[in-house]
Structure 1
Amino acid sequence: MKKIILSILTGCFTLTLSAQTKITLNTDLAKTKINKHIYGHFAEHLGRCIYGGMYVGEGNTKIPNTAGVRNDVIQALKELKVPNLRWPGGCFADAYQWKDGIGPKDKRPKMVNMWWGGVTEDNSFGTHDFLDLCERIGAEPYLAGNVGSGTVKDLSDWVSYVNHPGGSPMAELRKQNGRQNPWNVKLWGVGNEAWGCGGNMTAEYYSNIYRQYATFMSDSKDAKLYKIASGASDGQYDWTETLMKNIPHHMMDGVALHHYSVLSWKETKGPAVGFTETQYFKTMDEAWKMDEFIKGHSTIMDKYDPQKKIALIVDEWGGWYDVEQGTNPGFLYQQNTMRDAVIAGLTLNIFNNHAERVRGANLAQIVNVLQAVILTNEEKMLLTPTYHVMKMYNVHQDAMLVPMNIESPNYEFNGKKLTAVSSSASKDASGNLNISLTNIDYTKSHEVTINLRGEDFSKVSGKILASSKIDDHNSFEQPNKIAIKDFSGVKFEKGVLKLTIPAFSVIVLNLSK
């Protein structure tokens, strides 16, 4: 297809138009629900995620807090509509002894975080603190159980402690520690990355371990457990096949998948700010691989579970770069730019479009770690570009996926090609149509034509996240440099939408009847 190149200066960014993206939506054929848990988050005891990030201590008079958790963080997470929050890890989960994090805080034993920086933690943020936080922000807790270094009894006791209504030793212990009613935690990870930091197990061995631990994780009257097996990394298809073959399906509700958009695990991951287009293209290539991996693992799961009763849970994903200069390498603190916004938009579109099998996911991580939605520095707090994309996209939570046909030109660099524009669409309970669009192209804007079939809509509005440079970001000096803005550049006539999406930007359109 011959490309038409045209540069138009539009204030804060330059549009360079290329070949047209064509989308057809069948709005009356929506049958699959986009599970809200796709929009989950992840809080590990890693760097300044918990201590100094979310949790500043109950005696802190400098930073407004509720039971030690920052009020500004609580409010931001409420507005984000976080459906679930995974804790305490990550690798940390398989070293964590939950009983050390309950009872009087001044009597809790300390521990060394062997995975992340070797720092000593005082266990002042524990089970009660986390589960109470989830209640405050309206999120379901997702507890990752210790299978790597903990015993079957440890995990069984934890389930009883948080879920048993009364009469069991653990329920009575919970009441002694100030919580009368159970939290009724449903989401449970049975270990984490068992192939690596969770024990360096083989898939066959872990399958047996899973069966053993899951057997002693009991449902309670108001909490039927949703058990998630420690799944593969990237394209470890043999791992998924072994789990699906060896674990009885009535014992398993989900299989995890981890994939990060990282340049290299062995060499430099590249900077979070000041990266080259070569580094950017590679990051986008890794982000697009999420689609490939989901398809690959889903094909294996379909072989053993054609009715799709078992979910694929992508409970770790996001961009991973070198830490910011001068920070602890074990704290994984990185800045968050428009590149991260594009990763988020692209990845969420992929999840939405695989909603039949993908029914949960967790962005890594929520505060001050990796692709965080919030950054803090003492009293200061800011929302990152990723936060804004997650907020724009929350219209898809529990909405019905609208089937689409999309033809997009490529983003080309050094002889390689990636699909430039991704999209997903849904209908909410009120019948409104939501269309999300992400353009990963480094330099070119793209004209988009959307044909609506099946239903008529009369009104359209939109939001956009865009900036003049790909590594633009919010800082504590300029916390609102990148923010969601109204988007009015869409023409709507006779069931056809026409718009131009700028380079490295994200748009969400909302249509009503």
Structure 2
Amino acid sequence: MSDASAARVVIDLDVPGPTISRHLYGHFAEHLGRCVYDGFYVGESSELPNEGGIRLDVVEALRALNIPNLRWPGGCFADEYHWMNGIGPREDRPGMVNTNWGNVVENNHFGTHEFMALCELLGAEPYVNGNVGSGTVREMSDWVEYLTRNGDSPMVRLRKENGREDPWKVPFWGIGNEAWGCGGNLTAEAYVDLARQYATFCKNHDGNELYRIAAGASDHDLAWTEALMKSISKLGGTPRDLFQAISVHYYTVPGTWEHKGSATQFGFDDYYRTMIKAQDIDRVLTGHSTVMDAYDPERKIGLVLDEWGTWWDVEPGTNPGFLYQQNALRDALVASLHFDVFHRHAERLVMANIAQTVNVLQAMVLTDDTGLVLTPTYHVFEMNKGHHDATAVPVHVVDQQAPYALDGKQLEFLSASASVKGDKALVSVTNLDPAAAADVVLDLRGATVRAHRGRLLTAPELQAHNTAAEPEVVVPTELTDITTDARGLRVTLPPHSFATIELDL
């Protein structure tokens, strides 16, 4: 192709931006469907390899992602979960009805100790979401004490009776979840007062510093964020005394909540609407960040996107309350697009958690009683590992083709981001065009590139997905169509593809 037909991605490798926190690649495990039970936890009597009932094949797969944190126990489930029912001998734990997800009875065999053991196996930092909706201040305060206090106290003695001598480190703590909905159907003002009360009694014990996350808005609800920020700005002392961050949730649902569409049966218009919806995460994060800047110009308060991902109709024949969906190449492109946006917002956005890790919504892995399947989305996380805790650098996409317009909205076909860590850089590029390849010049400025390697994720069809019978339909391969150019490198990206290019500087 001629230079006139090539898009150009200008990358200033010598202009450091904010650090891309590894926690932007966080995960989420709710007591929902088969995420915890059958997903992470199968019990010690299972024939599957396990440690304390925790599936080791799932642990091995997630460790390969360098999973940085795991949010638990919800989600909506968090505000009906009473942690004291999930400790002690498993046979003595009272069961509960999961009213949010399938109205099933669960036995509480996976509780606090099992979750902390899972985090230790994963090498992930725990993000515990406390119960504001149906809990009490004392219940949450006692949970923090049980987990993190040393020495002697009622909760410390109880923890030791249950087999754990030393306290755990728990850095991230959620003050309720979706308080505007399943977490209590509260107004912003009512939640703010409760959140301040609860957060006051979530103490820092024995060197464990809690990063308290107030339950934030859904989608574009900037009024909720403003109510939180107004309250925080009126607190005595520094703005970070009670809350260190506020959350927001955003799902890519191109249809309606009643008819979301199929994960694998869709046409081009469905695809375009999906990617336009996914692209809108940039506007959502910009809006909430702008409101936060008005009250916190020094950006001391973090923004946490602790639920994001695609949400489709459940797979035929499965429990509607279990939210089990397949995961196609289209989902992977939603993820790669999101990460480019996250990197641009890394100064304010400190954490993001995909919903969810196993067997629910946009999962990393799908399991059955014999093994697991890695999804296309899993591979995006793995290919982007080099961005963890790296320094974002400016990226400008120019000279690309005109955007695609549908329903009065536009989709830019090329998305990119880049970071530098030590003597290496990583460039991520996505071609969202479902039908045409993209010829792209990487205009690399400010550093000499000594060597390069590329990887590619694509498939012949957007609907392509991995199954137990065919587990490698969508897997990374070597990016071979990459050459040197006077401006840096030149790559050709197939239609609907994601690529990473690692540079030695």
Class of the TM-score when normalised by the shorter of the 2 chains: over 0.9
User: How far apart in 2 are the matches of 1:410 and 1:371?
Assistant: 30
Correspondence 1:141 to 2:126: yes
Tell me, in whole angstroms, the C-alpha distance in 2 between the residues paired with 1:421 and 1:494.
Answer: 21
Distance 1:322 1:108 in 2: 34
Separation (CA, whole Å) in 2 of partners of 1:286 and 1:495: 33
1:169 alignment partner in structure 2: 154
Deviation at 1:108, TM superposition (A): 0.1
Give the corresponding residue for 2:28: 42
Structure 2: which amino acid aligns with 1:285?
I
Identity of aligned residues (%): 47
How far the C-alpha of 1:91 sits from its partner, in A, is 0.2
Which residue pairs with 1:29 in the alignment?
Answer: 15
Q: Which residue of 1 aligns with 2:217?
A: 232
Please say if residues 146 and 155 of structure 2, whose CA atoms lie closer than 8 Å, have aligned partners that are also in contact. yes
Query: Contact between 2:272 and 2:406, CA under 8 Å: does it hold in 1?
Result: no
SS in 2 for 1:327: coil
Look up the match of 2:326: 335
Distance 1:168 1:280 in 2: 56
Task: Pick the aligned partner of 1:355 from 346, 352, 355.
Answer: 346
Q: Unaligned regions of 5+ residues in structure 2, if any? A: none
Question: In the alignment, what sits opposite 2:484?
Answer: 492
Equivalence for 1:127: 112
Letter in 1 for 2:157: E
Q: Deviations over 1:55-96 (max 9, x none)?
A: 111111x21111111111010111011000000000000000
How far has the Cα of 1:285 moved from its partner?
1.2
State TM-score, norm by structure 1: 0.95
Distance 2:475 2:57 in 1: 17
- Match for residue 393 of structure 2 among 402, 405, 430: 402
Contact 1:411–1:440 under 8 Å retained in 2:
no
CA distance in 2, matches of 1:459, 1:272: 39
- Rounded to whole Å, the distance in 2 between the matches of 1:231 and 1:310 is 13
What is the alpha-carbon distance in structure 2 between the residues aligned to residue 20 and residue 221 of structure 1?
58
Q: Figure out how many residues of one structure are paired with residues of the other and give that number.
A: 497
Partner of 1:323: 314
DSSP 3-state at the match of 1:409: coil
Is the 1:18–1:446 Cα contact (8 Å) retained in structure 2?
no
SS at match of 2:214: strand
Q: 1:81 aligns with which of 66, 74, 80?
A: 66
Counterpart secondary structure, 1:80 = coil
Q: Deviations over 1:104-155 (max 9, x none)?
A: 0000000000000000000000000011110111100000000000000000
What code does the residue aligned with 1:83 have? P
- CA deviation string 1:369-417 (max 9, x = no partner): 0000000011121100000000001110000001122223345255753
Question: Cα gap change, 1:495/1:86 in structure 2, threshold over 3 Å: closer, same or farther?
Answer: same
- Asked if 1 retains the 8 angstrom alpha-carbon contact of 2:57 and 2:371, the reply is no
Letter matched to residue 436 of structure 1: S
User: Could you tell me how far 1:54 is from its partner in structure 2?
Assistant: 1.1
Deviation track 1:198-241 (CA, whole Å, cap 9, x = no partner) reads 00111111111110000000002221110001011110000001
Under a length normalisation based on structure 2, what TM-score does the superposition of the two structures give?
Answer: 0.96
Does structure 2 conserve the Cα–Cα contact (< 8 Å) formed by 1:456 and 1:495?
Answer: no
Deviation of the 1:30 alpha carbon: 1.1
1:424 partnered with 2:417: yes
Once residues 216 and 406 of structure 2 are traced to their aligned partners in structure 1, the CA distance between those partners, rounded to angstroms, is: 35
1:167-316 equivalences in 2 (<5 Å): 167-247=152-232, 248=235, 249-250=239-240, 251-316=242-307
- Matching of residue 53 in structure 1 with residue 46 in structure 2: no
Distance 1:496 1:230 in 2: 45
Selected match of 2:475 from 483, 486, 511: 483
Deviations 1:279-335 (A, max 9, x none): 111111110110000000010011011111111100000000000000000000000
Contact kept? 1:263, 1:283, Cα under 8 Å: yes
- Contact 2:441/2:487 (<8 A) preserved: no
2:89 is the alignment partner of 1:104: yes
Aligned-pair CA distance for 1:488: 2.2
Paired AA for residue 487 in structure 1:
L
Secondary structure in structure 2 of the residue aligned to 1:132: helix
CA distance in 2: counterparts of 1:166 and 1:112, whole angstroms: 35
Classify 1:480/1:18 alpha carbon distance in 2 versus 1 (closer, same or farther; 3 Å). farther
Task: Trace 1:430-509 onto structure 2 (pairs within 5 A).
Answer: 430-509=422-501
Q: What's the CA shift for 1:262?
A: 0.4
Contact 2:333 2:498 in 1 (8 A): yes
In 2: Cα distance, 1:236 partner to 1:20 partner: 39
**Counterpart-to-counterpart distance in 2, 1:83 and 1:106:** 32
Residues 273, 406 of structure 2: 8 Å contact kept: no
Q: Which amino acid aligns with 2:459?
A: S
Change (3 A) 1:48 1:147: same
What's the Cα RMSD here? 1.5
1:445 shift after superposition: 1.6
Alpha carbons 1:400, 1:427 under 8 Å: kept = yes
Distance, in Å, in 2 between the alignment partners of 1:294 and 1:255 is 12
- Equivalent in 324, 337, 341 of residue 346 of structure 1: 337
The secondary structure found in structure 1 opposite 2:440 is strand
Instruction: Work out whether residues 441 and 485 of structure 2, in 8 Å CA contact, stay in contact via their aligned partners in 1.
Output: no
Would the aligned equivalents of 2:251 and 2:310 in 1 still touch at CA under 8 Å? yes
Tell me if the contact between 2:329 and 2:463 (Cα under 8 Å) persists in the aligned partners.
Answer: yes
The CA distance in 1 between the partners of 2:498 and 2:25, in whole Å, is: 17
Give the letter for the 1:392 counterpart.
M
Q: Distance in 2 between matches of 1:411 and 1:486?
A: 28
TM superposition shift of 1:267: 3.1
What is residue 391 of structure 1 aligned with on the other side? 382
Q: CA shift at 1:173, angstroms? A: 0.6
C-alpha offsets along residues 427-450 of structure 1, whole Å, 9 cap, x if unaligned?
A: 01x220100011222212211111
